[in-house]
Amino acid sequence: MISSKAIDHQNFDIIIVGAGSAGIAAAIAAARRGARTALVEAGGMLGGELLTGMTIDGAINARGEQVSGGIIDMLLERCEAMGGFVRRLNDWRLIQYIAYDPEIMKIAIPQLVYEAGVKVFLNTFAEDVVGGRGRVDGVIVRNKAGRSLLSARVVIDCSGDGDICAAAGARMLPRGADERLQPVSMMFRMAGVETAPLLDFVVDHPEYFAMGESEVIRGGRSDNELAEEIRRQGQPCVFIKSDGALLADAIANGEMYPTALVMIQPTSEARREVCINSTRVTLDDPMHTTDLAAALSELTRQVDVCSRFLRAKVPGFANATLSGLAPRIGIRETRRVAGDYVLTVDDVKAGRKVPDGVAKGCHHIDIHGEGAGQIRIAIADGGSYDIPYGSLVPEHLSNVLMAGRCFSADRPAHGSARVMGGCLAMGQAAGTAATIACRQNSDDIDVRKVGIEELRSELKTAGAILEGVH
């Protein structure tokens, strides 16, 4: 039956679609600057991958320098104020990162979003866009209350899949003929993990664990010396590698599924809890929702298999219990939107700095493959690279920005910047740029007219880190 109910119409300065890391950062940045801001999220929670227990990668480079600041600092400070676990950790492999308690983060994110004055639409699907001639004047959304038209002066696509840009006719960067998209995963957590036996096991058997893949982190030390550094750090932060006998034998005899690493990262000292990143299912296209739904069966099977492996074979896990699953399947790669600038693998590997940089990335190039395959390439000198403003501006669209997983990059560069530290920084940059664009005394806003120096100045005032680091 077709409803005759009139479509609801609401007006905003800025609409952000997608409330993952990039989306919540864009919304907080925009609303705190006085913009009437709407945040549209298809799910029922704010935060995306920030709620899984996975560490924030791409915020601290291999040298230990923080390269993502501002909104990320606000989130972590709020978590700590509530007594939540927050730690800066070295993985003694390729990077450094921030571990935190995702249950506390579930509270911190909505607090900051609502305090900023953002109008939030949960369980709301962005169905289509309205506009033309290179503009998006509004987004048609649908939820159980019906359909609504949300009009805005600037729209920011933080959907991960580039849904708004695709609906507006933006060009997507091509996928190689032989390329398969990175596998999807399901993060899970285990509580009751004893740290001391686990770290002693690393010292006794460094050959089972990934370490020293970056020369900056290795610093001329042997694996035995790095294992001692891992133990000295005192946190359950280790990576069991597929070419070590422990995991390789388990895969060979069917005790484990093929995977590149079993990543163990702390989430709570009080609960003695860790997050496990290991599961993987390769799909032709994770945007085909029937295939994505079917993957859930295999991913949850793998969660059970991996938790059994850890309890049986890894000291410290003998009495551990499964304590939580990520609220959704994690997707690493779908669409990449063509922007005014395409961040390249050379930019990333060289740690290139540019005058129009509005965010930084520092995660290694990280492309997961099928089975145990994974490409990991460190950034030169353990530093960081700049993400130019042009990588957040879709080709041929005048009042649209993008941030997060759908931003403009070639595949290897995307494999570095797609992580939460980079997404938070991109979101903050896009939200800030949108407010500057809204100051234009025109009904025909063009985000390309945003002054880069003004944008960089406002970002730095708000705590973003754009210079002064490797």
User: What mean pLDDT comes out for the span 188-203?
Assistant: 98
Backbone angles phi, psi at 444, to 5 degrees: -115, 65
Set out the domains of the chain in order of their start, with CATH numbers: 8-177+333-461 (3.50.50.60), 188-325 (no CATH)
Predicted local confidence at residue 5, as pLDDT = 64
Contact (Cβ atoms closer than 8 angstroms) between residue 432 and residue 33: yes
Tell me which residue has tokens 């799909």: 283
In 133-271, the DSSP E strands lie at: 135-143, 146-151, 154-157, 188-191, 238-241, 261-268
Q: What is the DSSP letter of 96?
A: E
Overall average pLDDT of the 15-32 stretch: 98
Query: What are the tens digits of pLDDT across the range 378-400?
Result: 999 999 999 999 999 999 999 99
Q: How much is the mean pLDDT over the chain?
A: 97
Helix (H) or strand (E) holding 431: helix 420-438
The C-alpha atoms of residue 172 and residue 121 are separated, in whole angstroms, by 27
Instruction: Quote the pLDDT of residue 179.
Output: 87
- Residue 178 has what pLDDT? 82
pLDDT range class, residue 1, cuts 50, 70, 90: very low
Read off the pLDDT of each residue in 20-46 and give the average, rounded to a whole number: 98
Report whether pLDDT(2) > 70.
no
- Which DSSP symbol is given to 188? E
Instruction: Please determine, for residue 142, whether its predicted confidence score (pLDDT) is greater than 80.
Output: yes
Question: What is the rounded CA–CA span in Å between residue 422 and residue 385?
Answer: 10
User: What average pLDDT does the segment 117-128 reach?
Assistant: 98
Tell me the pLDDT band of 4, cut-offs 50, 70 and 90.
Answer: very low
- Give the percent of the chain with pLDDT over 90: 96
pLDDT tens-digit series, residues 35-78: 999 999 999 999 999 999 999 999 999 999 999 999 999 999 99
Beta-bridge mates of residue 97? 89
pLDDT surpassing 70 at residue 3 = no
- What's the pLDDT tens digit per position in 161-194? 999 999 999 999 998 888 899 999 999 999 999 9
Give the CA count within 13 Å in the CB-facing half-sphere of 109.
26
Residue 152 CA to residue 138 CA, distance in Å, equals: 6
Q: What is the pLDDT of residues 388-440, one digit of tens each?
A: 999 999 999 999 999 999 999 999 999 999 999 999 999 999 999 999 999 98
Q: Mean pLDDT across the stretch 267-281?
A: 98
